[in-house]
Chains A and B, each alone.
Chain A
C-alpha cells in the first residue's frame, strides 16, 4: 500500500515537474533581470502581462492572445494567456492569481460585463492597471485604463452597404440578430441605418439566432418558410451566417437569397470563396491584441492613452477570398 502511494506521488510530481519546464524559462529570465537591479538602467525583462479572455474555444480570442504575445515580445514583456471559459467566478480566480504573481498589467475580455467589477477593483487596489479587449466592463466603480474593440456600429454600416450592393438596391431582406450582447445590438443598428437609406429595400423579418449556428439554422428555416420571395439575409456573426447558408442549401434557395455575414472566420471566408455568402464585414482580432499591448507599453512608459480605441472592420468579397493565401492552402 505504501509503495502504491509513493508511485502515485512520484507520478504526480513528475507530471508537474514536466509542466515546470516551460515555465522555467520565463522565471529564469525574470530572475536574471531582477539580480541586475543594482543601478541597472535597461532591464530586458519588463514584467508579465496577465490575460484572461472569454473562451479559448472561439478562434477569435485565440488570435487576440497570439497577437498579444507577438507584440509584447517586441517590447520585453511576457504574456500569460488564460481564459475564464465563460465562468465569471473562474475569471475572478485567475485575476486573483495574477495579483499574487504581481504582474505589471492585466488584460480582460470579461465573461460577464457586470460581475467582472469586483475582480477589477481588486487589481485596482493592488495598483495593477487593467485593460479590456473586445468586451467592456460595465461596472462604473472599477477603473479600466483603456478598452480596445471592434467598431461594431461602423461594421454594421459596412454590412448594410454590402447588402445594398448585393441586391442592387431593391428587395426583401431578413435580419438574424443577437440582442443579448452589445456588439450584436450595435451591428444591427448600423446595418438598419444604412439600409434605411435604400428605399427599395424592405426588412420583412428580424429574429434572434443566439449568435449560434444551430439556432440560426432553425430561425432561417422559419423565415424562408414564411417569405418565399426573400432576397437577402444579414446574420450578425459567422456562426449565424453559416447556419443560414445551411438552411438555404436545404431549401434549395442559395442562388436566390444573398447572405451577408460578420466576423471573418476561416470557414466563412471559404463560404465566400464558394459564393455561398456574398460578403462579410470582417474583424481584426490580431489588431485588437496588438493595440492593447501597444496601449500598455505606452501607459507604462508614462504616456496618456485614449480610454477607448475602436478597430474598424472592412468588407471581404469573393474577389478578396480568391486572393487570400490562407484559403488557397486549404483548397489545394
Chain B
C-alpha cells in the first residue's frame, strides 16, 4: 500500500510539481503586491460623491479634475450626475494634462467662479499642482482636494496584469515549443534568438516593399509567411548539417545564430524598419475571444497542436525514441534523420513566428530583436521538466516553465526589485529546476 502511494505521489509531483510552484508564486505575488487602490471610473465617482455629501455640505462648488482617457471620462460623467442628484451646484470640469488643468483652474479663479472643492480621479490625486495653485493664487488658497478613497487590490492579480504577463511571455512560449521538441531529441537550438530578428526584419522589409503604410492584409500575411518560412529554412539548413554531416547540434546552431543575426543586420543596414500600417499590430496588440490578446490565443492553439503531435502521432513517438536512445531507435527501424530534421525545422518556424509577433507588438522590425532569447527559451523548457539529455519532456510542462519565468519577472518588477537581483533569482530558479530533474532521475535508476 505505502509503496503504491509514494509511487503515485512521485508521479504526481514530477508531472505537476512545477504547476504547484507556479501557483505558489502567484499566491505569493498576489499578497506581496496587495496595496491601497481606490476605485476608478463610475464606482470611484459614486464613492467620492457620497463622501463629499457627508463632509462640506451640499452647497460646495466643485471642480472635477481628471485626465482624458475612457475610464477618466466615465469618472467625470458619473460624478457630474451624482453631484446633480445630490443637489450640488453644477460642477466645473478641468480635464487633461497637468498644465491644461492648471490653466483651467487659474482661469476659473480669474473669472471669479467660486471653488471650494477639487474632486480628482485617483490618477490625478498626487499631482503637486494643487499645492502650487493653493500657494500662488489667493482665490484658491482654501480649496480642499478630494479623491476616491479606500479599496485594496492586488496589482499582480488584476485582469490587466494577467493579460500583461501572458502577452509578455507569448513569444518565448511559442519558441519554447520548438525548443522542447529539439531538446527531446537530445539536441539544442541556439539560433532561435537570431531567427526572431531575421524573421522580424524580413517581414517588416517585405511589408515596406509591398505598399508600406498602405499594405493590404494579404500582402502583410504573405510577408509574415515569408519571414516564418525563411526562419524555417534556416532551421532546415541546421538540420542538414546535423543529420547529413553529423555536426553536433550545439556547433551547427551556434553557426546559424551568427549567420541569422548577420543577415538581419544586412537586410536592414543596421537600422530598424517601421514602414508598417497600424493594422499589422492586430496579432501583437489586438484582442479576441474573451478579451485575450490574439498572440496569447495563437500560443494556446499552438500548444494544443504540439501536445497532440507529441502524444498522439507516430512522429511524436519517433521524436521521443530518437532522444531516448538513437541507436535502439535505429535498430527498431526508425529513420533517425527524419524526426531530427523535423524538429529543427519546427524550431525555426516557431522562432520565425516569434519574430512576426514581436514585429507586430512593436510595429517595427529591428536586427536587435531576440537578443539572448535562446537562453530564456531553453530555461522555459528546462524549468518545465524537459531533460537536457533528451528523451523526456512534456509540452504543457514547457508552458508552465515559461509562465514561471514570466511570473517571477513580472512579480519582481511590480515589487520594485532591481534588475541585478532579478538576474540572480532567475538564474537560481533555473539551477534549482535542473537540480530537481537530476535528483528525480537518480531516484528512478
CA distance A93 to B168 in the complex (A): 6
Contact present for B425 and A5 (CB under 8 Å): no
**Is B99 touching A302 in the complex (CB atoms < 8 A)?**
yes
B171 to A299, Cβ gap below 8 A? no
> Chain B contact residues (Cβ within 8 angstroms of A): what range?
35 or more
Whether the Cβ atoms of B274 and A34 lie closer than 8 Å is: no
B146 located at the interface, meaning its Cβ lies under 8 Å from any Cβ of chain A in the complex: yes
CB of B440 closer than 8 Å to a CB of A: yes
In the complex, A20→B32 CA distance in Å? Answer: 8
For residue B429, which residues in chain A have a CB less than 8 angstroms away from its CB? 12
Interface of B is mostly: helix
Q: Identify which of B228-236, B247-255, B305-313, B411-419 touches chain A.
A: B411-419
Answer whether A47 and B126 are a contact pair too, CB < 8 Å, given A117-B363, A127-B67. yes
Number of interface residues of A (CB under 8 A): 75
On chain B, the residues within 8 Å of A11 by CB distance are 432
- B9 A1 Cβ-Cβ under 8 A: yes
Assembled-state Cα–Cα distance A83/B420 (Å): 10
> Distance (Å) between the CB of B142 and the closest chain A CB?
11
Residue-wise, chain B 362-376 has the 8 Å CB interface mask toward A (1 for contact) of 111010111110000
A128 (CB) vs chain B CBs: closest residue? B123
- B residues within 8 A CB of A299? 97-99
A23-31, A163-171, A249-257, A264-272 - the one binding chain B: A23-31
Known: A92-B362, A117-B364. A87 touches B372 (CB 8 A): yes
What is the minimal beta-carbon distance from A141 to any residue of chain B, in angstroms? 8
The segment from A99-107, A199-207, A213-221, A238-246 that touches chain B is A99-107
Contact A42 B425 (CB under 8 A): no
Asked if A180 and B126 sit within 8 Å, CB to CB, the answer is no
Query: Is the CB of A129 closer than 8 A to any CB of chain B?
Result: yes
List A contacts of B164 (CB < 8 A).
96-97, 100
Binds B, one of A108-116, A154-162, A228-236, A314-322: A108-116
Find chain A residues with CB under 8 A from B144 CB. 39
Q: Does A118 contact B35, Cβ atoms closer than 8 Å?
A: no
Q: Quick check: A1 and B97 within 8 Å, CB to CB?
A: no
Contact of B155 among A9, A101, A304 (CB under 8 A): A101
- Given contacts A23-B415, A104-B126, A113-B272, whether A92 and B28 have CB atoms under 8 Å apart is no
List the 7 closest pairs (A to B, CB-CB), nearest first.
A302-B102, A302-B129, A127-B67, A115-B364, A115-B362, A114-B274, A34-B36
For this complex, 21 residue pairs linking A to B, each with C-beta atoms less than 8 Å apart, are A1-B6, A9-B21, A12-B432, A16-B32, A20-B32, A23-B415, A34-B36, A38-B149, A42-B131, A47-B126, A75-B128, A87-B368, A97-B413, A100-B161, A127-B68, A300-B128, A301-B98, A301-B131, A301-B132, A302-B129, A302-B133
